[in-house]
Amino acid sequence: MNKATNKGWDPTIADLDGFREAQKLAYRCAEAIADELTPGMTEREAAALMQRWLTANGANDCFHQPFAWFGDRTAFRGFIGFRHFGGFNPAFYPGSRKLEENMPYILDCAPTLNGYTADIGYSGCIGENRILDKLMDDLLEYRLLILDQVRQRKQLSEISQAVDRLCARHGYEPRHKAYPFQVLAHRVEKLEADEKKHRSVLNFGVRNIGKLVSDVAKGRREGWSPLWSSGHASDHAPTPGLWAVEPHLGFRGVGAKWEELLVVTEEDAFWLDDDVPQVRRWASRGLEPLAKAA
């Protein structure tokens, strides 16, 4: 039922349900593991817990295996903040940093369920962290800004630059710039649904990365890029399809992000699911512009 277009595809209702299920699974995983985190646990242990949970709950492939960052690594401070090897920094991988009370953490997982891939980010801490609270509150503005500008069909590079400016106004560092290729977002595509367990290389799912690479090739021919950043490669209108958007803010030694799938159609755009932890958190804190987000 996929409608092929020159720039991508308009997903069917059934497809969107599939992606939504995958995203729900990913967030459930993050919330479940967040509940299990205790001081003293390492990033590697947290990431392994997530991987085990996802496998046990039906995920058989991934865009990337779960990441976990603790403490100032959430803000990509230190080695992790450098860009090496063409934007690929091994310091990204979960390390031996131990979780402490009041320390921020980020859990990031991207499971594939029945051929549908999600990619989510989840921030929190055990205890209290005022800076983290503020970052997470302010992340609401980014969700509003991005959707608003995509709906205006602004160029993706322009939107990413608007995000950069919002960061500057807020006094935050746009830490997604430390991601490979400095992406604010990247495409995810539908895969073949099957029961097999699929391979990852260097923690990245082979099938999903394969799709991304073919998107890159296709995008080159057609004048768009599946890697959404502030650079010239993203000087194009929003391309229909699913985008995993991941604004990541840093202030001093604290970082926070969310990551959600944005559905872009030929004419419109919307967040795949509004029932996600960060939206529930903003609502519970009575943050003002949330009404506009609906």
Partner 1 sequence: MSTQIKAQAEPQTLRVRSGDVELAVKVYGDTKQPAKQPVIVLVHGYPDSNHVWNKVVGPLSARYRVVAYDVRGAGESTVPAHTAAYELEHLVADLAAVVDAVSPEQPIHLVAHDWGSIQSWEAVSTERLKGRIASYTSISGPSLDHAGYWVMQRLRSAAPGDIAKVANQLMHSWYIGAFHLPLAAPLAWKLGLDQLWPKLLERFEGIRAESTPTQTSDGRHGVNLYRANVAKRLLSPRERRTSVPVQLVVPTRDRFVSLELLDGLDQWVDQMWRRDVAAGHWLQLSHPELVVRYVSEFVDFIEGGEEPASLHRARVRSGRKPGNDKYAGKLAIVTGGGSGIGRETLLALAEQGAEVVAADIDLAAAQRSAELAELLGATAHARKVDVGDAKAMESFAAWVAKELGAPDIVVNNAGIGMAGNFLDTSTADWEKILHVNLWGVIHGSRLFGKQMVAAGKSGHIVNVASALAFAPSRMLAAYATSKAAVAMLSDCLRAELADQGIRVISVCPGVIDTPITGNTRFVGVSEEEQTRRRDGAKKLYQRRNLKPQAVSAAILKAIDNNRQEVLVGSEAHGARLLSRLSPALSRRLARMELSF
List residues binding partner 1 (CB under 8 A).
130-131, 134, 168-171, 251-252
Which amino acid appears at position 207 of this protein?
R
179: closest CA among 113, 247, 125? 247
Asked if residue 254 lies in contact with residue 135, where contact means CB atoms within 8 angstroms, the answer is yes
d(C-alpha 228, C-alpha 111), whole Å: 21
User: Which of 294, 271, 237 shows the shortest CA–CA distance to 118?
Assistant: 271
Question: How many CA atoms within 13 Å lie on the side-chain side of 182?
Answer: 16
Q: At its nearest, how many Å lie between partner 1 and the CB of residue 252? A: 7
92/251 with CB nearer partner 1: 251
The distance of closest approach from Cβ of residue 170 to partner 1 in the complex, given in angstroms and rounded to an integer, is 7
Q: DSSP of 14-45, one letter per residue? A: HHHHHHHHHHHHHHHHHHHHHHH--TT-BHHH
Of 165 and 199, CB closest to partner 1? 165
Nearest distance in Å: CB 169, partner 1: 7
Our CB check for partner 1 shows the closer of 197 and 252 to be 252
Report the nearest approach of partner 1 to the CB of residue 127 (Å).
16
Instruction: Give the shortest CB-11-to-partner 1 separation in angstroms.
Output: 36
Which residue, 76 or 251, is less far from partner 1 as judged by CB?
Answer: 251
Closest approach of Cβ 98 to partner 1, in Å? 20
Q: Which is nearer to partner 1, 43 or 138 (CB)?
A: 138
Cβ nearer to partner 1, comparing 171 with 286: 171
Residues sharing a CB contact under 8 Å with residue 287, sequence separation 6 or more, in sequence order? 137, 140
User: What CA–CA distance (Å, rounded) separates 208 from 244?
Assistant: 13
Specify the residue, 138 or 246, whose C-beta has the smaller distance to partner 1.
Answer: 138
Per DSSP, the chain holds a count of helices (H) and strands (E) of 7, 16
Q: How buried is residue 51: exposed, middle or buried, by Cβ count under 10 Å (0-12/13-18/19+)?
A: buried
Per-residue DSSP letter, 70 = E
Q: What is the DSSP letter of 118?
A: -
- Least distance from C-beta 78 to partner 1, angstroms? 14
End-to-end CA distance of the chain: 29
